[in-house]
Amino acid sequence: MNRDVMEAGIRQFLEGLFDGLDEPAAKEWIEQTPGRVARAFEEDLAAGYGEDPSSFLEPIPVEDASGAVILEGIRFTSLCAHHLLPFRGEVTVGFVPDRSHVGLGGIARLVDSLSRRLCLQESLTAEIADHLQRALHPKAVVVVVEAEHLCLAARGARKIGHRFRTIERRGTSHPELDHLR
């Protein structure tokens, strides 16, 4: 990431926003806000670009594992690639191990890494499933992402409290994962 370029772009955006307006605080905001915004993106909101999501999924060999592993309630916040507005929600991951498992903290860090990038919820859901499939080669994977989008709540239709759900499945159907919808 290039913080100087990000700051310059944010400064230009603010200058355009306040152009011709008599806003007493505008000068201070134009001077101080670009650095704060660039740091927020670099250190948190888009920090996932500096990480390799696959590195969090270290396979652990297991034998005779046939039951499902389900991790629910992985909370995240991301930025919509269409409007740069946040969406936040929860991820549920379920998989049936074949010959390997993974630490549950690794799954949570995978979600964190992928969600701290500009994305669409549908893509985020597919990427989580794809990373798990590649790392573990499980018999089945199901990823459910449910989130509320500020682009729908704060602009356009202005509907708060909605839940947008996306689901991705990989591998074979498995009765212990069929309830994940």
What's residue 159's pLDDT?
81
Tokens 């080669």 sit on residue? 137
Where do the H-state alpha helices sit in 20-73? 26-40
What's residue 73's pLDDT?
97
What's residue 151's pLDDT?
86
Structural class in CATH, domain 54-171:
alpha beta
DSSP one-letter string for 120-173:
-HHHHHHHHHHHHHHHH--SEEEEEEEEEEHHHHSSTT---S--EEEEEEEES-
**Tens digit of pLDDT at every position of the chain (181 positions):** 999 999 999 999 999 999 999 888 999 999 999 999 999 999 999 999 999 999 999 999 988 777 899 999 999 999 999 999 999 999 999 999 998 999 999 999 999 999 999 999 999 999 999 999 999 999 999 999 999 999 888 888 888 888 999 999 999 888 889 888 8
| Residue boundaries of the structural domains of the chain | 3-45, 54-171
Q: 131 vs 65, 75, 108, 138, CA distance in Å?
A: 20, 18, 12, 11
Contact 115, 161 (CB under 8 A): no
On the CB side of 18, CA atoms within 13 Å amount to 15
What's residue 113's pLDDT?
98
What's residue 147's pLDDT?
97
What's residue 155's pLDDT?
83
Strand, helix or coil at 45? Answer: helix
What's residue 174's pLDDT?
87
Contact 114, 127 (CB under 8 A): yes
